[in-house]
Structure 1
């Protein structure tokens, strides 16, 4: 995209804002001014307001398309100083402008640096005025979403009013908005919201979107009064609704619900079975004697057989061996969910019985190479769950046969041991601080942060000088938790690297606050002006903690030479090839050109070839794109977020983040709708074929290669 000269831009803006542009107020018969649209893109990515010109376009451009695009840029920049411009857009006569203004208000509400109560109120009042007269359905839905994000008492009151109205579509969306507020802020934020209207929306004769909205609020509110409704919705025809209700049972159900949850372990959709398995594990954690949930979980051995043999997994006639393997792999998600959730010590026999089923030589003799790899990883997951119970590395040292590397076994086991209720000093973990694998060293520090030994601080301090910034940052974070003052100097030396290595900011700031206290304030003040948004966010949070008063960073425009990906061409798509099949993705080249272009550019370089899906959470996401394989890696640069209005439905492609504008190469696919992610992580594509492959992924599955294609 050509960048216009400043002189040409000034002339264009003068003509446009004066009202003499070619396009009229509402006709938009001709394309919008390309030069101005390019400059808006430029300002947006540089996080600049263009010396006030961007706000002028958002509030005064006669062409509604330019005005809407400027508001989208303000949404992505998230500067509270533009609040009045956003409010002005809520009253515009064009629906596209009102919709973008409502979206921008929601993005301000989701700012990584939280708005004050007064600022939320300033957005709520005009939004309520606009909502009551809105006639465009899509704009109205965006307004309802934003009311939930603002989460003010007045916003909640309006959502409750809409939830009880006669328009079932609006009622469902209002209920969903309240549920998302509860998911983000905790059930307590909706403690005064009545659930009866949401329960009424879950009736079988209501549209699926309304039923889902009702179920989402009922599930996230976590109140015992909704138990009967949740039990009834296990029979809903929509798998996403069944999964929601199964998930809620783990929070508010009781042992008497175990048998009913057990019926969902045989659900035809594995992600529903995964939620049932996870909830049964949560119920088991509350057992004190005879435990029905554990008895029910023993039936998961049937899933082991399905993974190995494909039993009870009907496939179309003529299915290829790879398709058969893919179908079997998805059956492993309930076992993976159980292992990730973990069981109390009295549940050890269940984990052991599942491992015995996996080790059955009769099953293994019939399993394909891919199935054996799946079984090997599930075995290690179960072994790690046993080691978590005991707080020692034992079972993972001999799990998985020859299908799981020592590095993966150790990293998995140490991470689980860090979660153990056993808090005795973990002397064994110090050995792994010197392991050649960075992934193992990181997880060893996780254990020692929870269970330090007398020599932990000095051993960890040696890693502060690591050339690997992830290892050095993790060492700083660990030392901050240990609060050994003798390590402060080393942390201060590492802090000097933050200006050139922004990813270090978060762990180093936490360590400085813990070790240096108020003396860290001058350095944090310096970081408030750093060009990288996440460094400023971290500094503001640290200063808020140190001073006891809210501190917000200033917006700082990026230098013009900051890396920017080339935009993706229109119609661009990606094909990810795995041993379980291909995943074809259509990219949002129009709404998220730079985020899409970033993946296109990396794919063309062969960047993703051989990289794994390092994180798979059943019924949530499958995440990949990290060359390190530990969730901490990237391409060596970060890109800015391009928040879109695409909702996180099943099969949406999103950009993983560790803070504001920290995207790189890590991406994720959603297994099911995740509305709490909307507007928080860039959604920039969707799976158009191969969703069954996404469903079948397990941690460690390899991306063989990624090709760039043009899709119709």
Structure 2
């Protein structure tokens, strides 16, 4: 079902009209800022509709709050045509307006903003604004201008915000691969204990996430931060960065962190930093981690063996799998058993997994993971295909099944004689009415590594499937099909997604009734989690969430995705991540970071948000400005850390003010 038409553009006189004040009820303290201020609603509507021309006049408003709101709105619009307007706002008399303008400039990621931002930093008098300007500068600099970030004095004295801003600027540049040896040295120096926590966190993230770094020369300071920083988040980031060190002694350091750190997120980071070259000296620590009290560590340890084990028998991993209490870790170990099995071992291991699959009918998520495990053995192709296309199969089982079949085709041991069978499987999936089957099969067709241009030519089948797609609900499948068509036809320019797939006006009547401090209690099978909804930062997203709560939409849904030390994600009506509502939302980006317990909306790209949401286990700043944050966890993070795939959202209720 297509979503409602967008509102007509607002007339300029209406946009410039003075605020209309509504009758204020006695509990006015609970109202959000939009309830009685129609001008703020106009600004937010212009932001939602991506109307640059409508927002521009508000930057000249006599009221600071409107200038600030308009500047901040451009952080979601992300229109480079607004660059001159935002650069002008950097000189606004009000620091909050200058700060909002700097954030919005960073969101445009326009290299033309780098030099003006750097110049403004030199004259900025407000420390908070300067911090935001420095981070925005990191989003705009290029390889030739990264030195602009290093002009801040190495020891800025009492101005710790300048240090923090520079650290985040280096991080934002590093995410895009923009770095230098001087930048790396500065990031390493910011790991020192005397630096502010935010600067240490940004530095650790910079070193962990900047691609293609060799940190061998900095092993000592990075290891010191990984083993002794008082913040788990800094230790985890620095531990991840140790994965870029190439010395024989690193294995012992990582094994020690895995055995001794008290925070499971750091132990997960240690396992992920380990690689195949250090398998022998770390395997005993990783083996012990399979019995870690925290299930996320056990799963990550199993993944380590799946990806990096060498010289082991498949029977070793099968025996350990049979003794595991956690079905998820057990499934991954079964995958390791198949991957590392000898030719003689494969058949009995495969049969054991198939028997386990038959006995796990009560848990479709376990069945799904067992199909994923079978994806390590081309001999399981027929079994997986039968399970994938079985009538009335739970969506998550079919989804993991088609993914396993694609994984088998990528396996170097996949028999050449079975390749025509794989094409038939893809056609069967594309001809189905299941969006996950269609989308995953289409994804295989545009996989450059598989390079199926010469093997698959039934383009009409792809076009017919695309015509059956319901937009905007199934935009991900539509995109996969179009990418497949573009690839198979060797198109140089990608075909854009239809703009009609992202039109859903904000329900202002509903927003007006949501208190500024509205709480929502998520009752899960592991306990309660209390969210504080950020209606003033993301009114459209919060209104959609509240409406779905009123409808009981989330009752009985599952957490279908849990990535250790990253996110727990749920709210999918299909239970596999491919489901959505019959409308999509516009992205709403505020100047807020993904800290531990941030609640964001999942999406398939900008302006494609729907009903799925996730909670972060720890700071995940690479999501900042890319995924809407509509709530934060106020109580119950200990529950979030226990949630695993398949756990249930029993109900969600809004607390009365």
TM superposition score category, shorter chain reference: 0.7 to 0.9
Match of 1:312 in 2: none
Matched, 1:271 2:265: yes
CA contact (8 A) 2:360 2:367 kept: no
The correspondence of residues 320-331 of structure 1 with structure 2, limited to 5 A, is 331=294
1:495 to 466, 477, 487: 466
- TM-score when scaled to structure 1? 0.77
Aligned-pair distance for 1:417?
A: 5.5
Match of 2:62 in 1: 62
CA contact (8 A) 2:318 2:337 kept: no
Q: 1:414 to 1:513 in 2, by over 3 A?
A: farther
Aligned-pair distance for 1:254?
A: 4.4
1:477 to 429, 443, 457: 443
Match of 1:359 in 2: 323
Matched, 1:132 2:122: yes
Match of 1:437 in 2: 394
CA contact (8 A) 1:162 1:170 kept: yes
2:333 to 382, 406, 421: 382
The CA distance in 2 between the partners of 1:215 and 1:163, in whole Å, is 20
Match of 2:22 in 1: none
The CA distance in 2 between the partners of 1:564 and 1:496, in whole Å, is 33
The CA distance in 2 between the partners of 1:250 and 1:80, in whole Å, is 37
CA contact (8 A) 1:376 1:403 kept: no
Q: 1:195 to 1:475 in 2, by over 3 A?
A: closer
Match of 2:245 in 1: 252
The correspondence of residues 137-156 of structure 1 with structure 2, limited to 5 A, is 137-153=127-143, 155-156=145-146
Q: 1:683 to 1:224 in 2, by over 3 A?
A: same
**DSSP 3-state at the match of 1:296:** helix
Q: 1:274 to 1:403 in 2, by over 3 A?
A: farther
CA contact (8 A) 2:131 2:161 kept: no
Match of 1:566 in 2: 510
Matched, 1:177 2:169: yes
2:426 to 454, 460, 465: 460
Q: 1:689 to 1:66 in 2, by over 3 A?
A: same
The CA distance in 2 between the partners of 1:77 and 1:343, in whole Å, is 41
Q: 1:41 to 1:469 in 2, by over 3 A?
A: same
Which range is displaced more, 127-136 or 375-384?
Answer: 375-384
The CA distance in 2 between the partners of 1:263 and 1:400, in whole Å, is 37
Match of 1:207 in 2: 196
CA contact (8 A) 2:310 2:340 kept: no
CA contact (8 A) 2:388 2:402 kept: yes
Match of 2:478 in 1: 505
Match of 1:622 in 2: 568
The correspondence of residues 253-652 of structure 1 with structure 2, limited to 5 A, is 253-265=246-258, 266-280=260-274, 282=275, 285-287=276-278, 291-303=280-292, 306=293, 331-341=294-304, 342-346=306-310, 348=312, 352=316, 356=320, 359=323, 375-389=326-340, 396-399=353-356, 405=362, 407-415=364-372, 420=376, 426=381, 428-435=383-390, 436-452=393-409, 453-481=419-447, 482-483=452-453, 484-497=455-468, 500-501=471-472, 502-518=475-491, 527=496, 530-532=499-501, 558=503, 566-567=510-511, 568-652=514-598
CA contact (8 A) 2:216 2:244 kept: no
CA contact (8 A) 2:507 2:543 kept: no
CA contact (8 A) 2:589 2:628 kept: yes
CA contact (8 A) 1:393 1:414 kept: no
2:50 to 47, 50, 53: 47
Query: 1:372-407 CA deviation, whole Å, 9 max, x = no partner?
Result: 6xx233322332343455699555435599677463
Query: 1:658-678 CA deviation, whole Å, 9 max, x = no partner?
Result: 111111111111111111111
Aligned-pair distance for 1:639?
A: 1.0
The CA distance in 2 between the partners of 1:64 and 1:426, in whole Å, is 64
**DSSP 3-state at the match of 2:510:** coil
Identify which of structures 1 and 2 has the higher relative contact order when contacts are C-alpha pairs closer than 8 Å and 6+ apart.
2
Query: 1:251-281 CA deviation, whole Å, 9 max, x = no partner?
Result: 325452223222322322111112122223x
Supply the RMSD in Å over aligned alpha carbons: 3.4
Aligned-pair distance for 1:431?
A: 2.8
Aligned-pair distance for 1:16?
A: 5.7
CA contact (8 A) 1:12 1:35 kept: no
Aligned-pair distance for 1:616?
A: 1.4
The CA distance in 1 between the partners of 2:401 and 2:78, in whole Å, is 38
The CA distance in 2 between the partners of 1:185 and 1:696, in whole Å, is 33
Which range is displaced more, 626-635 or 198-207?
Answer: 198-207
The CA distance in 2 between the partners of 1:357 and 1:515, in whole Å, is 41
CA contact (8 A) 2:599 2:632 kept: yes
Aligned-pair distance for 1:583?
A: 0.7
CA contact (8 A) 1:653 1:683 kept: yes
**Structure 1 gap ranges (5+):** 18-30, 110-119, 307-330, 361-371, 534-557
Matched, 1:76 2:76: yes
Q: 1:347 to 1:437 in 2, by over 3 A?
A: farther
Aligned-pair distance for 1:209?
A: 2.3
Figure out how many residues of one structure are paired with residues of the other and give that number.
603
The CA distance in 2 between the partners of 1:595 and 1:649, in whole Å, is 19
Match of 2:599 in 1: 653
CA contact (8 A) 2:290 2:299 kept: no
The CA distance in 2 between the partners of 1:629 and 1:460, in whole Å, is 22
**DSSP 3-state at the match of 1:166:** coil
Q: 1:72 to 1:8 in 2, by over 3 A?
A: closer
Match of 1:96 in 2: 96
CA contact (8 A) 1:623 1:667 kept: yes
CA contact (8 A) 2:317 2:337 kept: no
Aligned-pair distance for 1:7?
A: 13
Query: 1:123-170 CA deviation, whole Å, 9 max, x = no partner?
Result: 112211222111222222211111111132465212222262424442
**Structure 2 gap ranges (5+):** 1-6, 20-32, 410-418
